[in-house]
Structure 1
Amino acid sequence: MNKNGMMRFWTILMTCLLLSGFAIGALQARENRGVAPVVVRDKEGQQVGLYQESHALVIGVAGYRNDNGDGWPELPGVREDVKIVARALEDNGFHVQTVLDPKSDELEKAFEGFIRRYGRGPENRLLFYFAGHGHTVRPGWSKDPMGYIAPADAPNPERDPAGFEALALPMQRIEEYAIRIHAKHALFLFDSCFSGSLFGINRAIPENISYKTEKPVRQFITAGAEEETVPDRSIFRRQFVAALAGEGDMNGDGFLTGAELGLFLQEKVIKYSNGAQHPQYGKIRNPDLDKGDFVFRVGVRVIEVSSNPALELEFWKSIKDSRNPVLYRAYLEEFPNGVFAAIAKAKIRAGFGERNEPRPKTGRIIVRSNVSGDTVFIDGKPMGPTGPDAHALAPGEHEIRVEKAGFEPFETRLELAAGGEGTVRAHLRPKTTAIEPEMVRIEGGCFQMGSPASEKGRYGNERQHRVCVEGFRLAKYEVTVAEFRRFARATDYRTEAEEGKGCHIYAGGSWNRKDWANWKKPGEGQSNRDRDPARCVSWNDALAYLDWLNRETGADYRLPTEAEWEFAARAGTTTRYYWGDGEEDACVYANGYDAAGKRKYDFQWTALSCNDGYPNVAPVGSFRANGYGLFDMSGNVWEWTCSLYKLDYDGSEKHCVSKGVDGKRVVRGDGWISTPRNIRSAIRIGNDTNVAYYHLGFRLAREF
C-alpha cells in the first residue's frame, strides 16, 4: 500500500471509529428524547419549533385479576400495543414512559407522578395513552353517565359493581388531572369504550396551525362508546400509528392536529370494525382549555437539539483542528443543529476548494423577549429594544443582557462563529414583593389516617384507614397578615368578606356573620399583628393568593390535600395529639381555648386547664413545633385544604379539587377557641368555599 493509500485508510478508520462511538452515545441519549425543544424539518428544509418538551405516558392493562371468576377477560395483545405505540411516539419526538398492568393505586401514582414531573412546563405537550377495559356507570343522582377505566385489580362491574367503582379510575379524576397540568397542550387517548360528559364533541379541523398552537387545550379520544367492546387485536392502535405516520394529515399541510386525529380515527375505526366501534373525540368542557389544538408534525424526520452537550463538545474537540471535510460531515449528521454547526459547514466549504471565497468577518445575533419596551445590552453597550432585527458582531463570546424597569434583568453568554447566526430568547420576570414561605420537606409514606374507635372525644367522621402520600413540602408557618397584605396591595384584591359576605365571629352565644369583619379587622378588640395568621379568608381568597404568588415567583404553591395535612401534623405519631395523649402539654404546643381565653370570653364550652398567655390568636411560631418542625398544626387557626369534604372517607382526602367543583372543602387543625377535644390530630370539618371565619386561615404546600 502506498503512502497516499495508507493515509486514506487511516482517515476512513478514524472516521468509522468516531461515528461508531457517537452512535453509541446517540443510543444512550434516547432516554433523553423529548426533553429538548423539538425541531422539525419540512420539505424545504425550514425548521419549525412546536414545543419545548414532549412527553408521553403509555399505560396498558393486559393481565386482569380473575381469581374468583369475577374479573375482566385478559387482553394479551395490549402488551404488544404498548410497545408499538411507544415506538411510534418516540419516532415523533416524544420521551415515553410505559406502565404495564398497574393496580388501582399504581394507576393513580402513574398519572400523578408523570404530571408532577413533566406537567409544569407551560410550553410542553403531554400525551396520555391507555389501553385496557373501560366501563360506563349511570349514577342514580345524575342523568349524565360516568366513564371509568379499569386497572388490573378492578372486578367486573356486572358481578361486583361496588368493588369496581372503588378501584376503577373515573373520568372525574382524569378531568382533575387535565386541569392541574400546566403544559399548554394535553391529549388523552383511551383504547377503551365508555361514555361520559367530560368532553364535548368537536369535529372542526383548524385552518391556522400557528394560531392553534398558542392556545391551551385538553383533548380526549376514546376507542368506542358505551356498551361497545374493545377487541384484543386493537384496530384503534393500528389506526393511531398509521395517523402518526402521515395518513391522518387530511389537508396535507404536514401537520396532524388533535381534531384531525379524532376525525381520522372515527372514520377508520368504524370502517374496519364494521360498525362495532364508534370512537368519540372532543375537548374538555372548560372555556379556558378548549381553544387550541394538539399538534404532531408528520411526513418529516423529527430531530432534537442535542440532548448531550458534553458528548457533542467532546466530538467537536476531536475534529476541530482537522482539514478533512469528512469529519465535519460526520459531526453535522450527528448534530445537525449543534452549537458548532455553522463552523462545521464553513470548514466543509473550505475543504472543497472554496478557500478563495471571501469569508464572513461577522456573525448575526437576534435578541427577542417576552415584553416590549426593553433594552438590549451586548457586551455592555445599549443596542436598542429586542425584536427581529439582527445585530452584526465579531466572532467570539458575547455577553447579552436585557433590561426593563420593573423586571428582573436577563443575562446570558453566546459563542458566535464567523458567518454564524444565533437567537437569544430572553424571559423577563417582574420584580415582586411576594414573600415565599419557608418550607419543610416532608418525605412521603403511609400512615393510619383518622382516629381509632377507642380515642377519647373522637367524632364519627374520623374512620381510621391506611393512606399513603407522596413526598411534598409544607410551609413551616401559616400565611401571615403581612404576607396577605402584600398580595392585597399588589393586586387591589378585596376578599369575599370585604365584598359583602362578611366574616363569622362567635358572640352572644352563637355564630354571627359581621359585615364589618374581614382580614384587616377580624374581631373586636383582637390583635392583627404582622406575624399573626391571616384570618377571615375564604377558600376562594386563598386560591387568589396562590395564583398571585405562583405568578410572581414562577413556583407551584398550592393548598395541601387533607391526607398530606394530617400526615404532616402527626409527624409519625399515632397518639391523640401530636405531642402525646395528655392535655397537660397542650399550652406548650397549641394555642387553644385556655384559661386566658376563658377569662376574656367565657365561651360556653370546656377550656384547657393551662394558660398559654394568648386569649385569642397568637403570632405564628409562638408555640413548640411538632416532630417535623411545623408550627401551629393544632390550634391558632383552622387551615384550608384543597380536598373535597366527605362525611366518610372515600379517597377524596388524597386529592385536590378545582375551583369549579361543587361541595365543601376540608379544614383541619382547629383554632384559638378550640376545646381539648378539637385540637386532636384527627379533627376534621367541611366549610363552604365562600365563607370566612375569624379563626380560619391557611398554609401552603408544594411538590418536592
Structure 2
Amino acid sequence: MDGVFYGLPVEFTTRTGDIVPGMTLEDMILVEKGIFDMGNPNTDTEASPIDNKTMGKEPVHKVQLSKDFYMCKYEVTVEQMCTFLNVYQNRNSRTQPVKALHNSNTNAWSFEYSGTAPNLIYKPRAGKDRYPVVNVTWPAAEQYCEWLSAELGVKVRLPSEAEWEYAARGGNKSKGYLYSGSNSVSEVSVSTDNSKGTAPVGTKKPNELGIYDMSGNVMEYCRDFFDWNFYDVHLEETVVDPINAGKLTADGKMVVRGGSFRHPTYLKVYTRGCNQHKGEAGNHSGFRFVMEQLPYNL
C-alpha cells in the first residue's frame, strides 16, 4: 500500500501537552556499546525470506558499536503517532512515494482522521491507543523523529540496522537466543495473521535488556538503505558503527527488522527484511526510536 503526504518539514521548539503519551524516561533502555557477531550463521544454506532464493549474502561479521545509546522499550504506539500527526500538517498534498506520510486507507487496528488539512484531527481507533502504529511510511518515521528531536532538545532517530540487531540480541547481556529474548518464539512474539493483526505493545516477554516486541508484532524501520551486498564489506575486520546511508535520498528499499504478526519467517534476531520503496505503508510496518542521550524529562 502506498502513502499520501500531508506534512512539510518544519521545526517545533515549543512543547505543549503530552508529547509522548504513555511514555516516561524509564522506557528508554540503555544499550551499552560493544562488539558482536552480526549476520546469519546459516546464510549459505538458508534462503533469505526477502525473495526465498538468495543465499550467502548475510554472512556473520564482527561489528563494533562505539557509543552507548538508548532504545525505546516499546514500538511507537498509535496514540503517540497521532500526537505528531495532529501538529505536523500542511495544506499541500503530495503523492510522490518518497514524501508519503501514511496510507490514507488506514486499517481497523490503526488510526483514523477527519477534517481537511491543515486542520485534520487524528485519533486512535477505539481501544487501539497502546497498539503499535502501522500504515505509516519510512519518511513518516523519519519525520516523527525529527519533530521529537526538536521538541525534546536531544537527537531522536531510527536505529541503524546494526544497532537494531545488537539490541534485539540483548546487547552485552545477550544469552544467544534465536529470537529476541527467548528460543521459544511464542514467549516473545506476537504472531497472529492478517485478520487478527497486532497486539498492544509489551504483551509478551521482554528480551535480556528489557525491550519488548523485537520479534513480531510489527516490522520496524531502520536508518539503512537496503543493499544485498552490504554485509560483504570488510568481512576480515571489525566494522565500526556501520550504516548504509549512501542512497538515503533515493526512493529505494529500506531495511526493516523483526518480523510482524503476519511475517513469521523474519522473527529471528539476524533475519533481514526490506520494504519495496519509501512510500510503502502496509499494515505490518511500524518503528521504534533511539536517543543518543536522554532529555531532561518527557
TM-score scaled by structure 1?
Answer: 0.31
User: Structure 1 residues 654 and 515, CA, compared in 2 at 3 Å: closer, same or farther?
Assistant: same
Deviations 1:378-401 (A, max 9, x none): xxxxxxxxxxxxxxxxxxxxxxxx
Residue of 132, 137, 155 corresponding to 1:533: 132
Residue of 427, 430, 444 corresponding to 2:14: 430
User: Structure 1 residues 465 and 646, CA, compared in 2 at 3 Å: closer, same or farther?
Assistant: same
Q: Distance in 1 between matches of 2:279 and 2:175?
A: 33
Residue of 238, 242, 265 corresponding to 1:654: 242
Q: Distance in 2 between matches of 1:480 and 1:465?
A: 33
- Residue 179 of structure 2 aligns with which residue? 577
- 1:634 maps to a residue whose letter is S
Contact 1:495–1:541 (8 Å) recurs in 2: no
Residue of 464, 484, 487 corresponding to 2:81: 484
Seq. identity, %: 31
- 2:59 maps to a residue whose letter is R
- 2:260 maps to a residue whose letter is G
- Residue 64 of structure 2 aligns with which residue? 468
Contact 1:527–1:617 (8 Å) recurs in 2: no
Offset of 1:579 from its aligned partner? 3.9
Corresponding position: 1:627 with 2:216: no
Higher gyration radius (CA): 1
- Superposition RMSD in Å: 3.3
- 1:567 maps to a residue whose letter is Y
User: Structure 1 residues 682 and 455, CA, compared in 2 at 3 Å: closer, same or farther?
Assistant: farther
Contact 1:500–1:515 (8 Å) recurs in 2: no
Corresponding position: 1:639 with 2:220: yes
Offset of 1:499 from its aligned partner? 5.5
Which SS does the other structure have where 2:62 is aligned? strand
TM-score scaled by structure 2?
Answer: 0.70
- Residue 550 of structure 1 aligns with which residue? 149
Q: Distance in 2 between matches of 1:528 and 1:566?
A: 31
- Residue 588 of structure 1 aligns with which residue? 187
User: Structure 1 residues 696 and 493, CA, compared in 2 at 3 Å: closer, same or farther?
Assistant: farther
Residue of 508, 520, 536 corresponding to 2:111: 520
Q: How does 1:171-250 map to 2 (within 5 A)?
A: none
Contact 1:452–1:464 (8 Å) recurs in 2: yes
Q: Distance in 1 between matches of 2:33 and 2:96?
A: 41
User: Structure 1 residues 553 and 440, CA, compared in 2 at 3 Å: closer, same or farther?
Assistant: same
- 2:76 maps to a residue whose letter is V
Offset of 1:702 from its aligned partner? 1.6
User: Structure 1 residues 662 and 692, CA, compared in 2 at 3 Å: closer, same or farther?
Assistant: closer
Q: Distance in 2 between matches of 1:636 and 1:580?
A: 15
- Residue 678 of structure 1 aligns with which residue? 266
In the alignment, structure 2 segments of 5+ residues that lack a partner are 1-11, 49-54, 98-102, 114-124, 234-238, 294-298
Contact 1:521–1:528 (8 Å) recurs in 2: no
Contact 2:34–2:64 (8 Å) recurs in 1: yes
Offset of 1:465 from its aligned partner? 1.1
Corresponding position: 1:568 with 2:167: yes
Contact 1:625–1:632 (8 Å) recurs in 2: yes
- Residue 448 of structure 1 aligns with which residue? 37
Q: How does 1:44-443 map to 2 (within 5 A)?
A: 430-433=14-17, 434-435=19-20, 438-443=27-32
Which SS does the other structure have where 2:35 is aligned? strand
Which SS does the other structure have where 1:490 is aligned? coil
Which SS does the other structure have where 1:491 is aligned? coil
Which SS does the other structure have where 2:178 is aligned? coil
Offset of 1:660 from its aligned partner? 2.1
Q: Distance in 1 between matches of 2:222 and 2:248?
A: 12
Q: Distance in 2 between matches of 1:564 and 1:589?
A: 19
Deviations 1:453-486 (A, max 9, x none): 2898552342211111122111111111111111
Structure with more strand by fraction: 1
Q: Distance in 1 between matches of 2:92 and 2:181?
A: 35
Higher RCO (C-alpha under 8 Å, 6+ residues apart): 2
Which SS does the other structure have where 2:228 is aligned? coil
Offset of 1:515 from its aligned partner? 5.6
Q: Distance in 2 between matches of 1:528 and 1:494?
A: 30
Contact 1:451–1:458 (8 Å) recurs in 2: no
Contact 2:179–2:188 (8 Å) recurs in 1: no
User: Structure 1 residues 616 and 457, CA, compared in 2 at 3 Å: closer, same or farther?
Assistant: farther
Which SS does the other structure have where 2:220 is aligned? strand
- 2:221 maps to a residue whose letter is W
Contact 2:63–2:162 (8 Å) recurs in 1: yes
Which SS does the other structure have where 2:165 is aligned? helix
User: Structure 1 residues 698 and 495, CA, compared in 2 at 3 Å: closer, same or farther?
Assistant: farther
Q: Structure 1: which 4+ aligned runs deviate by more than 6 Å?
A: 493-496
User: Structure 1 residues 622 and 546, CA, compared in 2 at 3 Å: closer, same or farther?
Assistant: same
Offset of 1:451 from its aligned partner? 1.5
Offset of 1:685 from its aligned partner? 1.7
Which SS does the other structure have where 1:543 is aligned? helix
Residue of 266, 284, 290 corresponding to 1:695: 284
Contact 1:432–1:552 (8 Å) recurs in 2: no
Structure with more helix by fraction: 1
